[in-house]
Structures are given as C-alpha cells and as structure tokens.
Amino acid sequence: MTRVMLCLVQATAPSWVEAALQNLDALLIDHAHCEIKAATNALSLASRATDRKMAEQLAALAEEEVQHFRQVLDELGRRGLRLGLPPADTYAAELRAIAHRTRSGGRSPRETLLDRFLIGALIEARSCERFRLLADALRERGEGKLADFYDELFTCEARHYRVLYDLAVDAIGSEELARERLAELAREEGALNARLGGEASVHG
C-alpha cells in the first residue's frame, strides 16, 4: 500500500519495489552512492552557509550521511559487493534542471541557495518514502535485519527533510516564499517520479 508523505504529491509505483527487490545488490550499490552524494551536498551547502548555526547544522548532517555510507558499505562487504563508480543520477540532475527552468527571470544568490535546500529536502522526502516501502517489503520477505536498517533510515530521512526545509526558510528569510517554491518544485518532482520508478536504484 503506497501513500503520499511529507511534501510529495505523488506516491512511488509498486513496480519500483518489485524492481528493487529483484536486484537488491544494484539497489544497495546505488544507495551507497546516494549517501556519498548526500554528505558531499551537505558540505557543499555548508560552504555557502549564511551563518554559523547553518554551517554547524550542515556539518552534523554531513557526518550523519557519512555514517550511513559506512553502514551501507558494511552491507556491501557482507554481500561481497564492490562499490564501483557512481551510476548516472538522472533524478537529481533533472531536479536541478527543473529548478533552473522554473525561474525564468534568473535566480538571485538567495534564490539559488533556497532551491538547493529545497531540492535536498525533496530528495530526502523521496528517499524517506521509498525506504518505508523497502523496509515493509523486506520484512515480508523475512529479511528482518535489513528491514530494521531501512526502518531506521526512514526515520532519519524524515528528519533530514525537516532540517533542510527549515534551512531553506532561513536562506530566503520567508516561510511563505519557501512553502510556495517547495510546492512548485514538488509538483515537478511528482511528474518526474511518475516517469521513473522501474529501476533498482533509490531514485530511479
């Protein structure tokens, strides 16, 4: 049973869970790369932080994402899998392209930072939704330990969504502007999600 959560406007299709379970190895390898990207993105945002508190929150987020990376890396090790090079990330690239396209008048530095936080928040929200689906499906298959791991990550992603959204509000200095822009980007993300959904990758 899929349901729409957080800021998302469209639920992931059941075909995604099937694809993920059919090729759990590929899913885990892609997941490891997602954690690397989440950590590097948090640090990249920290270098653009507008105050010390923002920088500290992003440093803490980066540390947590590195911890997740290590955990997924351990799982790859247990399964005898190699990390390899990062797979193409159509989802994140498309989200960035959408953010450009939907600001026809160009973006100020504050709006660029706002968009980066909101795209990060959307990615966390989608990961959160999919980790819930994955945890439930794994538990049904009797893979309790891996299900517990994805349960834990589901909770983290919901929290990360909130952290990044709150930072987006700080970046633009207006709850209303952040909320409106998130709604606009979430509609586009929903359409993107509807086009994807058949691959054994976290966002594919």
> What contacts 34, CB < 8 A, 6 or more positions away?
127, 202, 203
Beta carbon of residue 164, minimum distance to Fe ion (angstroms, whole number): 9
Q: Does 203 bind Fe ion (CB under 5 A)?
A: no
CA angle 22, 23, 25 (to 5 degrees): 145
Distance CA 203, CA 15 (A): 13
Least Cα distance to 154 among 31, 49, 55 occurs for 31
- Write the interaction track for Fe ion spanning residues 126-165; mark x where CB under 5 A is met and - where it is not: -------------------------------x--x-----
- Write the interaction track for Fe ion spanning residues 39-68; mark x where CB under 5 A is met and - where it is not: --------------------------x--x
Give the footprint of Fe ion on residues 94-133 (CB under 5 A).
124
Do 84 and 29 meet the contact criterion of CB atoms below 8 Å apart? yes
Beta carbon of residue 140, minimum distance to Fe ion (angstroms, whole number): 23
Give the footprint of Fe ion on residues 66-85 (CB under 5 A).
68
Beta carbon of residue 201, minimum distance to Fe ion (angstroms, whole number): 15
Burial class (CB in 10 A: 0-12, 13-18, 19+), 166: middle
Positions that interact with Fe ion (CB under 5 A) = 35, 38, 65, 68, 124, 157, 160
